[in-house]
Amino acid sequence: MTVLSVGGAAATLRQAQRAAAPWPYAELDPERLRAAGWRPTPIRDLILKIHQRCNLACDYCYVYESTDQTWRDRPAVMADEIWQAAVDNLARHATTHGLRRVQVILHGGEPLLFRLDRIERLVGHLRARMPEGTETRVGMQTNGVLLTRPVVSRLVDLRIAVGVSVDGTAEDHDRHRRTHAGRGSFAAVARALDLLREPANRPAYAGILTTVSPDTDPVRTFETLSAFEPPMIDFLLPHANWGEPPTHARPGATPYADWLIAVFDRWYGRSEPVRIRLFDDILALLLGGASGSEQVGLSPAGMLVVESDGALEQVDALKSAYPGAAATGLDVRRDELDAVFDDAGVAARQLGPQALSGACLSCPVVRVCGGGHYAHRYRPGEGFLNPSVYCDDMRRLIDHVSARVAADLQRAAASEKR
């Protein structure tokens, strides 16, 4: 058996990246970018994959069902030395860059499989190690099945903000988000959300994450989610690209925009609407502000993932592009976080307009759309210098929101003149 050295493994990774995605890996040079004035955005959000396995078997999961199957070769549970190295590394990074805020997100698989006693030790170490003057937030993304009353109470005490993945009505949710035995999970998730919405537990309630599915009723989905009184709903487009198009994509059709527009029209103008991150971001961008996510806008990405074996990677969404698309070849025990800024993929996600195709740069809504999610721009053999595979949907959605806002502003201006 041939054992590659660290240098040999890195060279092999770079070769594979250049073949799969010539842009950016064969065409962007971070050293030249810095010489030309690019200044990397520090890492403020660190995702720890504390447990690599999951107690559900969702049929659309971009980790277990996508082209990248590297999870199979990684430890199921993150060892103490890994999370300790990650926390210490982040503390040094925060000190070096004078960061006022950092966030650590506990992720999986299913992070609650890691066990609460381990989570408590991790969070204690994190808060003890961060430099004075740096606000430290801790989040968790869970499928909700293991959120019992004692667990939620402990998460409140630990000041961990919990996001729960749920896909609308019981019927729609259970069609995709099932246990390994094939049973639906909505009943357990609904019980968890009812616990989180109790007044004593609301400090631990971050919100709901939902994947857009055009074969569901958008208004029923929105009303079902709203009934759980979440602080935020995060609607995500399914991770797809030009090699693996969205399931419901059809020439000349915009099914994902149509679905989101139906939700927007139901949501917009309500007296006390639940926050919807995608709509909030689009509205902020239309009014001259900035985006808080990678789905829209041109804000540089300052997020990294630490896998259960210590590998430093880009966001999991890239696993939907090709095997190894998220890899940097770095290890949190061996490499400082700043080392990721020598990776062309990391640089590309921080370059704003410089990372956009000519078609995007000539589009009138480019400042709002921002080219769409970086992972959705991938085209096999070319890389990421393309419009999003959801380009038509994004344009229709943004134009619709823009028209609604413009009409409201015109009415307000006319009312002032009277």
Spatial strand order of the sheet with 160-165 comes to 275-276, 232-236, 205-211, 160-165, 135-142, 101-107, 45-49, 303-306, 311-313, 327-331
The continuous run of DSSP H or E covering 60 comes out as none
Q: Are strands 303-306 and 311-313 parallel, antiparallel or unpaired?
A: antiparallel
Q: Which two tokens stand for residue 14?
A: 């770079």
Cα pseudo-dihedral 30, 33, 37, 39, rounded to 10? -30
Check residue 6 and give its pLDDT. 65
Whose tokens are 């099945």? That residue is 145
What is the share, in percent, of the chain residues with pLDDT greater than 70?
Answer: 98
Q: How far apart are CA 240 and CA 391, in angstroms?
A: 12
SS3 category, 161: strand
Phi-psi region of 26 (alpha: psi -120 to 50; beta: other; left: phi over 0): alpha
Phi first, then psi: what are they for 365, rounded to 5°?
-105, 20
Per-residue pLDDT of the chain (418 residues; tens, 9 = 90+): 334 456 677 889 989 999 999 999 999 999 999 999 999 999 999 999 999 999 888 888 877 777 788 888 899 999 999 999 999 999 999 999 999 999 999 999 999 999 999 999 999 999 999 999 999 999 999 999 999 999 999 999 999 999 999 999 999 999 989 989 999 899 999 999 999 999 999 999 999 999 999 999 999 999 999 999 999 999 999 999 999 999 999 999 999 999 999 999 999 988 777 999 999 999 999 999 999 889 999 999 999 999 999 999 999 999 999 999 999 999 999 999 999 999 999 999 999 999 999 999 999 999 999 999 999 999 999 999 999 999 999 999 999 999 999 998 888 777 777 6
- CATH number (3.30.470.10, 3.30.930.10, 3.20.20.70, 3.40.50.300) of 8-403 reads 3.20.20.70
Alpha helices in 64-110, H assignment, sequence order: 80-97
Whose tokens are 């007296």? That residue is 271
Whose tokens are 């709903």? That residue is 233
The continuous run of DSSP H or E covering 14 comes out as helix 6-20
Q: Do the beta carbons of residue 68 and residue 323 sit within 8 Å?
A: yes
What is the distance, to the nearest Å, from the Cα of residue 353 to the centroid of all Cα atoms in its chain? 20
pTM for the full predicted model: 0.94
Check residue 81 and give its pLDDT. 98
The amino acid occupying position 136 is T
Q: Which two tokens stand for residue 402?
A: 């823009």
SS3 category, 138: strand
Q: Please compute Rg for the chain using Cα positions.
A: 21
Check residue 92 and give its pLDDT. 98
- 8 Cβ contact partners less than 8 Å away, ≥ 6 residues apart: none
Q: Which two tokens stand for residue 318?
A: 């890239």
Q: Do the beta carbons of residue 136 and residue 165 sit within 8 Å?
A: no
Q: Which two tokens stand for residue 7?
A: 């240098």
DSSP state letters, 360-401: HHTSTTHHHHTTS-GGGG-BTTTBS-S--TTHHHHHHHHHHH
Q: How many helices (H) and strands (E) does the chain have?
A: 15, 10
- 120 Cβ contact partners less than 8 Å away, ≥ 6 residues apart: 154, 158
